[in-house]
Homo-oligomer: A and B are copies of this chain.
Amino acid sequence: MATLKDVAERAGVTVTTVSRMLNNRVQISPKTRDKINRAIKELDYQPNELARSLSKKSSQMIGLIIATANNYFFCKVINSIERYTAMYGYKLLLCISNHETEKEVEYFSMLKAHKVAGVILASHTQNLEKYLNFTAPIIAFDRTLSPHIPSVCSDNFNGGVLAANHLLEKHCKRPAYFRDTQKTGMHASFRYDGFAETFRGHGIEPIIYSAPPECFISMRYEDSIRAFFRDHPEIDSVFTSNDIIAMQILRYCAQNGISVPGQLKVIGYDDTDLSSFCYPALTTISQPVDDNCRFAVESIVNFKEKSIPISTVFPVRLIQREST
């Protein structure tokens, strides 16, 4: 493979000049610019990014630590983050922790060793000591890790409020919130707060049901949905913490002759593609995934010039479809 030196020789200039041009550190006359470009073409030269990053002490890579990719919502996140990462000329180092804290810590130090430009944390690690002696920016996605680590998220509380108001408009009296077991620090727990407070304002106390933690990993809620309906046959509406649960509730209803939205209104969360593919199509809370992702990436990219606000919240909105 051709090196800087080869290019310089071929173009009849110094490596310094070539390097300066490649990093546009100074003006280069059109003439030399041409010569150099020609040499680069002819030699099919590509700067060795490793050497480059080593010199600069920082790579153009962004690390994303995420719990899983086996989930429509997180896929959207990965997709979106990759897009912005590439847009800014950065590369994405994807780390899937599979919900294991230990792995997350490992990944973290790996990213450190690779001198990444920044880390986006979309998993639920709580062991923070290791992170703090890290010069690159860290940004937490949809969760609060510590008072010192900036986070970006959507307005979970309002998501709950919107869902509750929508159900109230539809005259629901016996609402339930079906969620995953919450890990500490996850902003998703605010959804319930918004949901419950709104209903309480109308003298209604919603039922809350937490699926066992393993469901969040397997994404299979069949058993807990059955248990849920056994325990709460009286409900007339259910708000779920993601579309996958909602979809499985729709399946349960279809199997058991519960008409949706007639007998039961269902609201999902996330507005993944799923929600419009199932029948009835899901009313759901749309998260501003793209805004969140762009913000996270831009925070890292512009870290040197702009400091990152400790908390950034983007608005959500309710998308009405057929299930309410």
Contact = CB atoms under 8 A, between A and B. Distances in A.
A133 interface: yes
A112 interface: yes
A54 B50 contact: yes
A96 interface: yes
B277 A248 contact: yes
A13 interface: no
Given A69-B75, A75-B75, A274-B274, A82 B54 contact: no
Contacts of A112: 46
Interface stretch (A205-213, A249-257, A299-307): A249-257
Interface residues on A, range: 35 or more
A1 to B, nearest CB: 8
A153 interface: no
A174 interface: no
Contacts of A22: none
Contact of A54 (B47, B48, B71): B48
A61 B92 CA distance: 11
A26 interface: no
A82 B70 contact: no
Interface of A: 44, 46-51, 53-54, 59, 61, 68-72, 74-76, 78-79, 82-83, 86, 91-96, 98, 103, 109-110, 112-115, 133, 219-220, 244, 247-248, 250-251, 254-255, 273-274, 276-279, 281
Given A72-B72, A91-B95, A244-B277, 6 more contacts: A50-B54, A50-B115, A61-B93, A251-B279, A254-B279, A255-B279
